[in-house]
Amino acid sequence: MTASPTPLLVVGDALLDHDVRGRADRLAPDAPVPVVHGARRSSRPGGAALAALLAAADGRPVTLVTALGDDEASHTLRDLLAGRVELVEVPLDGSLSSKTRILAGDRPLLRLDDGEGRARAATAAAADAVDAATGILVADYGRGTAEVLRDVLAAAAGRAPLVWDPHPKGGPPVRGVRLATPSAREARTFAGRADRHAEPADTDGLRSAGRDARALIRAWRAQSVAVTLGERGALLSHGETPLLVPTPATAAGDPCGAGDRFAATAAALLADGAFTETAVQAAVHAATRYVTEGGARSVAAGTESRPVPLEAPAEEDGTADAVRTAARVRAAGGTVVAAGGCFDVLHAGHVALLQAARRVGDCLIVCVNSDASVRRRKGAGRPLVPAVDRVRVLRALECVDAVVVFDEDTPERVLSELRPHVWAKGGDYALTSLPEQPLVESWGGQVLLLPYLDGRSTTRLARRAAQAPAPGGAR
């Protein structure tokens, strides 16, 4: 039986974000500025509210302690969070901060900021929520919520895993936080304040990030610091040699909110008892998937989902996660590609096929025959590699976004749930009738054959491995 996820408390400054997204293919006649037309408007929680929403979307009970008032933006945010996270409010002086982005596709052109409200004071209910928390994320956006609760947060850091996502306009983390998660720019700013003799940034950023992390561990008395590096991943330091956690794939898309996705995932896993290295690795994967699958746009569409764990339990077939991945990409206007096979002893032919399939669209979901299905197709001696290991190897490929295992002889059932735009098969099927083709075409999908590297096959590899070594070859 799978244990229930540990509840998470998020403390910080909520924002309200608006996007006005359209097309920009010409300049205005009266000024050299883009003309945005066909605009679509959407609103979503931002700041600490976004971090709380993302953690709740993982199926986790989440309580958000934040400052809200009687203004229109505060009322809108309450409506957006209703039924999704539990709210504990502290009073707000002024109106809730909101941001409006004008975008052409995923490219921001302009941002309008409104509201300068700040948290006025702590409340007994907010302090009680912190005292009772078993896992805490502080999403500090410099508007006072963390500051008015600073004393009670400092006490909590000694008994519960506490992750602090800092902001240059806010204060430093309290002493003893389990993990602080500044961006590279934030780390440079904070380290410069802590060390007047800080060296200038280096060209590749990694040495600077490592130096800054060490300086912040000393200055903040933090147990660890993970400097987020955008598309390069994150650099985790406990004060000595840092650990670089690279992204599993190049994420092209809107990065707005990726830092919140990172911090929320790390805090949730630390609350569950994970090691810091495990939590940071999962957080990098989650942030990458968040950007790839639509980022802020998918949150506004209400299709956010939990990240794929680093290693799914063997009894899970991955269908639910694959369906969520397809839904997010589809909601963001992307193309869903699926490919299938046994993938027993992954070889260069498999990798070439999967890489080509991923280039066709915006996500690749791999449908894998179960062990029983492989035996029916290939014989009693197969598979050579059990499904749980085949899935783990496939998930490790940069080009693969999700993996689903099916037990039938053909993948029609999972295809009906995924409804991909493209079903990709190797070119060796060119003269074969594919039973799934009518199904894929029934919802407007397309079956696409891709080149297959000649001479590569698991059967051939198995035969070669079984051959006796040449005379004198063994020692």
- Annotated catalytic sites, by residue? 260
Residue with tokens 């869903």: 336
Judge contact between 430 and 449, C-beta under 8 A: yes
d(CA 6, CA 90): 24
Cβ-proximal residues to 433 (8 Å cutoff; 6+ apart), any chain? none
Would you give the distance in Å from CA 389 to the centre of its chain?
23
Q: Cα separations (Å) of 296 from 74, 239, 254, 302?
A: 19, 33, 7, 10
- Per the rule left: phi > 0, alpha: psi between -120 and 50, beta: everything else, 397 is beta
Q: How far apart, in whole angstroms, are the C-alpha atoms of residue 197 and residue 388? A: 51
Q: Is the peptide bond before 383 cis (omega within 30 degrees of 0)?
A: yes
Q: How many CB atoms neighbour CB 274 within 10 A?
A: 17
Task: Please tell me the number of Cα atoms within 13 Å of 275 on its side-chain side.
Answer: 6
CA-based R_g, the chain, Å = 25
DSSP secondary structure string for all residues of 395-430? HTSTT--EEEEE-SSSSHHHHHHH--SEEEEEGGGT
Residues 130, 47: contact at Cβ < 8 Å? Answer: no
